Structure 1
């Protein structure tokens, strides 16, 4: 090796390959740990300081949005080389990253959000193409800055913009340069979802054949929107490849909100057909969960699992916006997250197989003045005022916060175990967490569609993590380790949803939180799974219709079960009613709802609703397998009873946690380089515990401090 090579600070060069859920750099499995630094929000003479801080914290990659609205001048010309402002010199920023030993991840939009005006789209586009504005319900124009992705004027302008960016990126991409990935647009479909404004400009949607208020129309609309987003992103994929970009392409999946991840699978439902199984593409999560606690730790864990379950065999999981910092996004002390929160989220996410994390936002800055800005009250590029990134680990003035110190410390720990974390897989129990993508086709509800509103309310209450999120918390805080199972892919392997991948193998035991709505194909597959020797733990309501409203009781009929109504909390003219259940699992336990059942005599009744005396939780046999149906929101805190339910299937956690309190969450990772147990205490109190894996002690009795963690080889 030459002396020059020995002192070369640049990151390892080489081909970037996605293989067997890993990211390889020049054939070596590698973790990419990135920080988002917005060059356009920093003076050029500040760039080196912020990048050096990122490198010194142990990061190896820098990501940044490349805002169209910043680089387009009032006359429509583009400046990406700094001829009008040094902060527009994109090549100089990327080259500086390279010289400091940092890779670069490009996020050029055309949409970038990031609190920018028009979500990063120049005003000119809205002025010159007013018909690109989506038309939603009853002809109403979208209240957001959304645009119709299929509009020919928007597409042509976006391609002109991306052409200019790719001229900068192409000669700087791996294997010989620092650019290791390019993101395709950003959070596609998010604006339509959060504003309940489907893109009804399209004649095919308007002519769907069913009145807009019907369930059938909403189902067709959701499926069409998936296809529309996939068509747009595949067009961008093709365009990007045609322009010589050969590095991996990334798609940012949105969906968290309010410190919770229960709606995150909506983004997966919207976007998975655009990337699943496609060579050279990977999806990244967009996580904003705030403080990690017993309330939302299951959200993080199960969202990671669901994101991974729709990938192809080579596609690794990643996170393109991984929340880090103080959590004070409004600069108003509305919230503060502990430094340990980012540490815990990092460790759990890497343990579950994420190979790339982009910490967002790593550095604050200042929004520059935008030439030609209209009379909108603020002459700058964004609507947050001059300062931006108040909550970042490095504040707008360049000062590190406690979150920065915690990040640097955990990255140092991670690097010690990088071979394991870059290649390993999670050890799981013989349980699959059921994911039904169409349960999350809930973005759109016609304002007068009462039946649709009731369906969506039912879906939101019972799907996924279960009523009151009890099912998800019982799994994660109960010490179980699971992969998610894409039930639609299993039930319909030839469907458009499954295209690009092969149907996965199903574990023996499947858990599913289910509303009344469940497709005929999934119901039939679940019944056959049990008949052939599998187990099903079903919580929520007894499915009785398909997504378009067609009656469907295939699953219930297979076990001889039928609904006798639902008892819910109420207070009306007849007085209050508080549903209570009792039986072999627990005595006189209050619940908020109970699915009452008519059952055959041979069914084992586990719980009855006290007021009616009717069963609401049962175990039933079918063929060689078994169903446990829990038709009430059985609380997650009763972990002994959840353990008893799984034990009826012969399932016990491989990781044994003998603890005095609830709140310890683990992820066991195995690889050819060794095994690692990640343990984090998300509780606000110390926990005394011993831990074993497959009966072998890993950690003798010890005290895990509040918000503490440990990395243990086994």
Structure 2
């Protein structure tokens, strides 16, 4: 199997595939059951790609000793044997060596000996007040190391290099590498003031200023300051610059860590979605356009999207930011996160929402419940981990297993075609990320009319959702004319300046018949604060009708560019009772699915083809006869339950 990642899509032996994966934390289980659990993922869940973290603290707990990858010091450290077992069973692996992994592992998977508290030579990560950033709960908290501090950087790159040379080289099962976790230290959604004010971070910031502006005089001309040299400029400085610094800082950490592994494998990352208060911080920091060959991916972990409007918005924005797979969807944690996850309907809904919004794959985290890890790996949680996985701690399929298998089977059969189909989106939001950096650093009690990005995006998202319309998300500094031409309207945040290139692009789009809607004042300056006023805002046109006729649901449509094939994703909101009425390319239809659940349907040649509809949600005490009706023809489950129809 040869895998590439092209524009966020996994291409397997030349064929685009929806990347469906299941996580198995081998380090939390008895090696004697590894083979049994892997077979269960393959045979009961229908998933052939495993994801697994490789915890640094597990394999190299003591300084001055070589990492143990063969189980010499403990059988559960035999990751080489684990990967060989995957190969033997016909499974492929996405390996995730951190160096920080979270995964409910103590100190996020870092060994204690890289902690600045234990070794004063290791530079701590500092926030804007100069306070060290810490990880953990209560007495178990430890200071985090600055990524570019020389002592830590040396140790981290040695670890990653050892994984590359000793674990990944020759491991035929491994098809891709994930670097880091949800930013650097699960910090992708934190405020811009949370890091990195360490000496190494500040040095990187000043180096970036020098690269962007060339001379202090040019910097002063833009900012109205009078600095004589870079060393006098203290962070965070101008909000747009500090946001840009965060974007390039994250890109550089990713590059350095991925390079240290020294592999030709495709590299992905798993950004955590933004919080609502820190949406601008996230937007300013997360710039996949800067990452080169490293591909975007994201996680969940922020709420039940069928019930929480904020969680829904954050999730959709994360899925739309760039093409890439959902690399961690909660399919097993009800006690640690939310009791709604006790039923597979919640995760089914969210996995489908990610795919509909733009993801190119989804992950079952975790596919297997585990038990029996050493206390030094995780002393805070008891087994099983997680509490309600599709494969339970005894290796048996739980009630979630058929749901996972149906979803995996649908995309195994139709994933390539699903990816070929274009989402039906007539409107887009244009991100102008310098405004995100400025808004992120604006005081809460500051002027409400300052440049905004996240707040305007959230309002746009809610308008589109209320109308039942899908939308695109584009970066105004990088979007092409061809990409803009796919939309009838582009809504952009207003403010005093905008890159000249972006203004020219939008002006050309308007001249070609598109409509630019500016939320706020139209810019009159370019990025250098030189006169530039090329935008002529349009009047907002009336929005077209959405896809929902009745019922409370989010509905997404994808259509094939050359064939009479369409995919409908129907996501029923918590609180909905009764069927969902839909507009389809073939006329009106009706779908019955459980509250908080949903459906995915393939439509072809005027009829309903394959479907997966969840009819049960035990958490909400909802059991319906899953069904779909189109043009008077009905297909339904026999009694309360799911409807699964997948052609072989």
1:437 paired to 2:462: no
Superposed CA deviations along residues 279-327 of structure 1, whole A, max 9, x for unmatched, are 4x3211112344332725454444322223xxxxxxxx21222232354
Kindly tell me: are residues 549 and 671 of structure 1, through their superposed partners in 2, closer, same or farther at Cα, counting changes over 3 Å? Answer: closer
Q: Secondary structure at the match of 2:151?
A: helix
Which residue of 692, 695, 702 corresponds with 2:584?
A: 692
Match runs of 1:132-531 below 5 Å: 132-144=123-135, 145-173=143-171, 177-189=172-184, 190-191=186-187, 194=190, 196-200=193-197, 201=199, 202-203=202-203, 205=205, 216-240=237-261, 243=262, 245-257=263-275, 266-267=281-282, 269-273=284-288, 276=291, 278-279=292-293, 281-293=294-306, 295=309, 296-308=311-323, 317-325=324-332, 327-329=334-336, 335-336=340-341, 338-351=343-356, 354-366=359-371, 368-370=373-375, 379-385=376-382, 387-396=384-393, 398=395, 400-421=397-418, 423-441=419-437, 445=441, 450=443, 459=452, 462-466=455-459, 471-490=460-479, 504-512=483-491, 514=493, 519=498, 521=500, 522=502, 526=506, 529-530=509-510
Distance 1:256 1:363, change over 3 A: farther
What's the Cα RMSD here?
3.8
1:350-374, Cα deviation, whole Å (9 max, x unpaired): 345533322222223236335xxxx
Q: Distance in 2 between matches of 1:21 and 1:443?
A: 29
- Indicate conservation of the 8 Å contact 1:282/1:318, yes or no: no
In 1, are the aligned partners of 2:524 and 2:533 still within 8 Å (CA)?
no
- 1:168-189, CA deviations, whole angstroms, 9 ceiling, x for partnerless residues? 443344xxx2111011222234
TM-score for the superposition, normalised by structure 2: 0.75
SS class of match (2:51): strand
**Taking structure 1 as reference, are residues 237 and 381 closer, same or farther at Cα in structure 2, changes over 3 Å only?**
same
| Cα distance, 1:387 vs structure 2 | 4.7
CA distance in 1, matches of 2:522, 2:312: 28
- For 1:666, the equivalent position in structure 2 comes to 556
Deviation at 1:340, TM superposition (A): 1.9
Q: Alpha-carbon deviations, 1:31-70, whole Å to 9, x = none?
A: 3311111011111122123212211211111111100011
Question: Residues 15 and 25 of structure 1 are in contact (CA less than 8 Å); yes or no, is this contact kept in structure 2?
Answer: yes
Residue in structure 2 matching 1:89, options 72, 75, 78: 78
Q: Pick closer, same or farther for the CA change 1:220–1:149 going to 2, 3 Å.
A: same
Once the 2 structures are TM-superposed, how far is the Cα of residue 223 of structure 1 from its aligned partner?
Answer: 1.7
Q: Give the whole-Å Cα distance in 1 for the aligned partners of 2:448 and 2:78.
A: 51
Contact residue 492 and residue 516 of structure 2 kept, 8 A: no
Would you say the 8 A contact 1:420–1:674 is kept in 2? no
Deviation at 1:443, TM superposition (A): 9.6
SS in 2 for 1:35: strand
Counterpart position of 1:597: none
C-alpha spacing 1:209/1:517, structure 2 compared with 1 (3 Å): farther
Equivalent pair of 2:332/2:342 in contact (CA under 8 Å)? yes
Equivalent residue for 1:69, pick from 54, 57, 80 = 57
Alignment of structure 1 residues 26-41 onto 2, 5 Å: 26-41=13-28
User: Could you say what secondary structure the match of 1:512 adopts?
Assistant: strand
Quote the Cα distance in structure 1 between the aligned partners of 2:496 and 2:397. Answer: 49
Q: How much does 1:72 deviate?
A: 0.8
Equivalence for 2:93: 104
Are 1:35 and 1:54, in contact at CA under 8 Å, matched by a contact in 2?
yes
**Deviation for aligned residue 1:105:** 0.7
SS of the residue corresponding to residue 4 of structure 2 reads: strand
Residues 187 and 252 in structure 1, CA contact (< 8 A), matched pair in contact too: yes
Q: Is the 8 A contact 2:98 2:181 kept in 1?
A: yes
Q: SS at the partner of 2:430?
A: strand
**In structure 1, what is the Cα distance between the partners aligned to 2:360 and 2:528?**
41
Identify unmatched segments of 5+ residues in structure 2.
136-142, 207-228, 605-648
Rounded to whole Å, the distance in 1 between the matches of 2:134 and 2:394 is 35
Q: Which has the larger radius of gyration?
A: 1
Partners of 1:666 and 1:679 within 8 A in 2: yes
Q: Structure 2 vs 1, CA of residues 150 and 274 (structure 1 numbering), >3 Å: closer, same or farther?
A: farther
Alpha-carbon displacement from aligned partner over 1:168-216 (angstroms, at most 9, x marks no partner): 443344xxx21110112222344386363221222464775787698x5
**Contact between 1:429 and 1:482, CA under 8 Å: does it hold in 2?**
yes
State the alpha-carbon separation in 1 of the partners of residues 98 and 516 from structure 2: 43
Correspondence 1:46 to 2:33? yes
Distance 1:84 1:275 in 2: 41
Task: Give SS of 1:406's match.
Answer: helix
SS of 1:678's equivalent in the other structure is strand
Aligned mates of 1:473, 1:436 — CA distance in 2: 19
Change (3 A) 1:688 1:203: closer
Change (3 A) 1:450 1:117: same
Alpha-carbon deviation of 1:440? Answer: 3.6
Structure 1 segments unaligned to the other structure (5+ residues):
1-13, 309-316, 371-378, 494-501, 560-621, 629-644
Aligned counterparts of 2:342 and 2:522: Cα–Cα separation in 1: 40
Q: Distance in 2 between matches of 1:442 and 1:39?
A: 43
Alignment: residue pair count: 560
Structure-2 separation of matches of 1:461 and 1:19:
28
**TM value normalised by structure 1:** 0.69
Query: Are the equivalent residues in 2 in contact too, given 1:508–1:534 (CA < 8 A)?
Result: yes
Task: Write the mapping of 1:502-581 to structure 2, written as runs, cut at 5 A.
Answer: 504-512=483-491, 514=493, 519=498, 521=500, 522=502, 526=506, 529-530=509-510, 533-539=513-519, 541-542=520-521, 554=533
**By how many angstroms is 1:689 displaced?**
1.7
Task: Report the counterpart of residue 591 of structure 1 in structure 2.
Answer: none
